[in-house]
Amino acid sequence: MPSLILILGDQLNRNISSLKKANKHEDFILMCEVSAEATYVKHHKKKIALVLSAMRHFSQELTDAGYKVIYIKLDDKSNTGSLESEVQRIAKAKKCSWVIITHPGEYRVYENLDSLKNSNLEIQWIEDDRFMCSRNEFADWVKEKKQPRMENFYRYMRQKHNILMRGKQPEGKKWNFDKDNRKTPKNGEIPSKPRKFKPDAITNEILSLVEKNFSDHFGDLEPFEIAVTRKQALIALNHFINERLVNFGDYQDAMLENEPFMYHSLLSFYLNIGLLVPNEIIVKAQQAYENGHVAINAAEGFIRQILGWREYIRGIYWHKMPNYSNSNFFNAKKQLPEFFWNGDTKLNCLSQCINETKNNAYAHHIQRLMVLGNFCLLTGIQPKQVNEWYLIVYADAFEWVELPNVVGMILFADGGYLASKPYASGGAYINKMSNYCKTCHYKVSEKTGEKACPFNYLYWNFLDKHREKLSSNQRLTMVYSTLNKMGHERLSDIRSDAKSFIRSI
């Protein structure tokens, strides 16, 4: 009896573990475009277009390679709209009682598909071996650690996989070169832009489909210039390694008006749906260092993001789910402001980052963390709403990577399990790392009053408000000592400015 092998929209890789089980002549490969996945939150139009176009290209590749592919299009008349019901329908039609699935990235998808056990279908779950640390290995590493820090995990991974190592010592005699990675470009010009890709006939068909079915979703659909095949993703990867990695380290935290991509790789789009795998990217970055093309701070800084952060975040997600999504350490209750959907705000940094997000379904890490995230933390926005926003607006957003970044990193909603202290800052940090403040309605140099940068008083107000929960944190000793020395009048201005600002949004 044939097996049914379900390939999900983020598993578009010829080496995906489920496909390795396939008998080309007997088994059926099922791929489905279902409205439930596009609408459980109203994803950015570009994200839907990326996933659907990449799926159609991948199914073509599998068919050409001789697999028996059953591809369900979104507007097929018989499409029942959810993964579970499509699996049931096709399994019945093809007389399969056995479904093989590589473990999904998201808990929600796993739960939905696992419910098929209650029908007559048997499911064989297979580990997703695209990750360099399996869920079991991470569980082993994390067990009995009260605060499992990324830096320790990263060192463990460097040693285990022998990446940027000289024997037992880290290359360059340091594990981390972040101190060299905080420059701001002086003339504001980024000479090398990411590679763009022209839509082909398949993508154009998808663009019309998305416009027709999801016109009320957030974001601009066009121009659509993202890679949709492995071949194109490899071109994007090589272009990044050859032209842009060299500056990645130096300007990793920098932000400039009208430079949404800086020297970032934009590879998360491709990594997260399977067009690229982490190991091949790391190998290329390491080679670029070894052949003298890039300095250690660039190679190490970049490799840390993928081998360290990405694997660690995924490990934390599966270790802490399902309860992690309910975390709310500060009991934050505020609604997400309307301007997160249209960028219509006088805070220039937010307006820049939101508009770029709307145009590109992308913002780089420091924009997500120190502008948008910092604002949500300081103003006390409900974690559920923040999570939903991040999941909607980015083309690389999948819950396994979005949720720990929001809950653990930006909101400290897990009480410090993931981060050793909240990533909170006043306007000075944004001013140091960007040119946003130059043209802002607010003055970054002013601490309180009508024209003062809201981040300034919101920052101190946040620390003041959460004294009980935060003041014993050793990494905050200095800031609490500054806060404790503040005069009563200054503190009272901070509280009152913060209160009226938060009320006004």
Return residues touching ligand SF4 (CB under 6 A). 347-349, 427, 430-431, 436-437, 440, 442, 444, 453-455
**Residue choice 29, 409, 433, 494 for contact with ligand FAD (CB under 6 A):** 409
Among candidate residues 261, 442, 451, 460, the one with its CA nearest the CA of residue 351: 442
Minimal distance, residue 370 CB to ligand SF4, in Å: 10
Q: Which does 268 bind (CB under 5 to 8 A by kind): ligand FAD, ligand SF4, none?
A: ligand FAD
Task: For the sheet with 98-102, list strands across it.
Answer: 68-72, 28-32, 4-6, 98-102, 122-126
Q: Under 8 Å CB-to-CB from 481, ≥6 apart: which residues?
A: none
Could you tell me which of 32, 33, 35, 3 has the C-alpha nearest to residue 20? 3
Residue 302 backbone phi and psi in degrees, to 5: -75, -45
Q: Which residues of 396-417 are buried (b: 16+ CB within 10 A; e: fewer)?
A: bbbbbbbbbbbbbbbbbbbebb
195 binds ligand FAD (CB under 6 A): no
Q: Which two tokens stand for residue 305?
A: 């993001």
Q: How far is the CB of 188 from ligand SF4 (least distance, A)?
A: 15
Q: Which of the stretches 66-74, 100-108, 127-135, 399-407 binds ligand FAD when contact is defined by CB under 6 A?
A: 399-407
d(CA 230, CA 14): 10
Considering the complex, what minimum distance in angstroms separates the CB of residue 41 from ligand FAD?
12
Closest to 128 in 3D by CA, of 119, 120, 138, 118? 138
Site string for ligand FAD, 332-371 (x = CB under 6 A): --------------------------------xx--xx--
Task: Please check whether residue 18 is in contact with residue 104, taking contact to mean a CB–CB distance below 8 angstroms.
Answer: no
> Would you say 68 or 368 has its CB closer to ligand FAD?
368
**Closest approach of Cβ 349 to ligand FAD, in Å?**
15
256 and 185 in contact (C-beta within 8 Å)? yes
Judged by beta carbon distances under 5 to 8 A according to partner kind, the member of ligand FAD, ligand SF4, none in contact with residue 401 is ligand FAD
364 binds, among ligand SF4, ligand FAD, none (CB under 5 to 8 A by kind): ligand FAD
Smaller CB distance to ligand FAD: residue 100 or 256?
256
Residue 442 binding partner per list ligand FAD, ligand SF4, none, with a CB distance cut-off of 5 to 8 Å that depends on partner kind:
ligand SF4
Distance between CA 383 and CA 413 in Å, rounded?
7
- CB of residue 438 to ligand SF4, shortest distance in Å: 8
CB 114, min distance to ligand SF4, A: 45
* Of 181 and 448, CB closest to ligand FAD: 181
Question: Residue 313 binds which one of ligand FAD, ligand SF4, none, with CB within 5 to 8 A depending on kind?
Answer: ligand FAD
Judged by CB under 6 A, does residue 410 bind ligand FAD? yes
In DSSP notation, 56-89 reads HHHHHHHHHTT-EEEEE-TT-TT--SSHHHHHHH
Residue 396 within binding range of ligand FAD, rule CB under 6 A:
yes
429 Cβ contact list (under 8 Å, min separation 6) = 370
Q: Pattern 295-314, binding to ligand FAD, x per CB under 6 A? A: ----------xx--xx--x-
Strand, coil or helix: 498: helix
Pairing of strands 68-72, 98-102: unpaired
Q: Which one of ligand SF4, ligand FAD, none interacts with residue 493, CB within 5 to 8 A by kind?
A: none
Which of ligand SF4, ligand FAD, none sits in contact with 394, Cβ below 5 to 8 A by type?
ligand FAD
> DSSP strand E in 64-189: where?
68-72, 98-102, 122-126, 165-166, 169-170
Q: Which option in ligand SF4, ligand FAD, none does residue 305 bind, with CB closer than 5 to 8 A by kind?
A: ligand FAD
* Look-up of token digits 């601009």: 220
493 binding ligand FAD? (CB under 6 A): no
130 lies in the site for ligand FAD, by CB under 6 A: no
Residue 270: half-sphere exposure toward Cβ, Cα within 13 Å: 22
Q: Could you tell me which stretch among 133-141, 259-267, 426-434, 476-484 binds ligand FAD (CB under 6 A)?
A: 259-267
Please pick, from the candidates 22, 83, 241, 406, the single residue that binds ligand FAD as defined by CB under 6 A: 406
Beta carbon nearer to ligand FAD, 354 or 401: 401
Closest residue by Cα to residue 44 from 180, 220, 164, 213: 220
Cβ closest to ligand SF4, residue 227 vs residue 453:
453
Look at the alpha carbons of 277, 279, 282, 287 in this order and tell me if their dihedral is positive or negative. Answer: negative
Choosing from 17, 387, 405, 448, the residue that interacts with ligand FAD (CB under 6 A) is: 405
Q: Exposed/middle/buried for 81, CB within 10 Å: 0-12, 13-18, 19+?
A: middle
Residue numbers of the site for ligand FAD (CB under 6 A)? 264-268, 271-272, 305-306, 309-310, 313, 364-365, 368-369, 373, 390, 394, 396-397, 401-402, 405-406, 409-410
